[in-house]
Amino acid sequence: MRRIESKIDTKSQEFKENEANLQRVVEEFRERLEKLKQGGPEKARKRHLDRKKLLPRDRVAKLFDRNTPFLELSPFAAYDMYKTEAPSAGVITGIGVVHGREVMVVANDATVKGGTYFPETIRKHIRAQEIAYENHLPCVYLVDSGGVFLPLQAGVFPDKEHFGRIF
């Protein structure tokens, strides 16, 4: 196989500017991801802990076998979509290992509007189920939900991703 030669000059000013811009974008991405992983606002997290409940990500982490990876899906779902914040669409989804078996986990984040379902939450939940189905993964549900987020309930039923499909 012939070697592909690069004509990129890594010492050029243009390259250095592009690299600096990329580093800024990567850092912004990481900062936003860390903020999303906190879940709902501090007040909601405190209330959750005061009720002697594990925070959602801690609950998910305790489910999996020790020292095994967790592939989170769509942590940026619902990012800047609604007037109110909905970090990760209020639901944590991903693939982890339980008793040596890969599983799909779907865990409501009750620190985000009481774990209620936004329209994007439903899409994310259904997508996790589709991935599980396509890859023959059992689903584990960690439910802590107040149902549909009432101010946005009109957007929940009309399309093919309607709420009833998750059952």
- Strands 91-98 vs 101-108: parallel, antiparallel or unpaired: antiparallel
Are residues 65 and 140 in contact, defined by beta-carbon separation less than 8 angstroms? no
d(CA 128, CA 92): 10
pLDDT along the chain (167 residues), means of 10: 90 97 98 95 95 96 97 94 87 98 97 84 92 98 76 59 52
The answer to whether 105 and 65 have CB atoms below 8 angstroms apart is no
Q: Quote the pLDDT of residue 167.
A: 44
Q: Give the model's pLDDT for residue 85.
A: 87
At 66 the three-state DSSP class reads: coil
Quote the pLDDT of residue 165.
Answer: 52
Give the SS3 label for residue 40: coil
Q: Does the structural domain 35-166 have CATH classification 3.40.50.300?
A: no
Q: Residue 82 has what pLDDT?
A: 79
Count, residues in the chain: 167
Domain ranges (residues) in the chain: 35-166
Taking the whole predicted model, whether its pTM rises above 0.85 is answered as no
pLDDT at 147: 66
How distant, in Å, are the alpha carbons of 21, 30, 104, 154, 165 from that of 133? 39, 30, 10, 28, 14
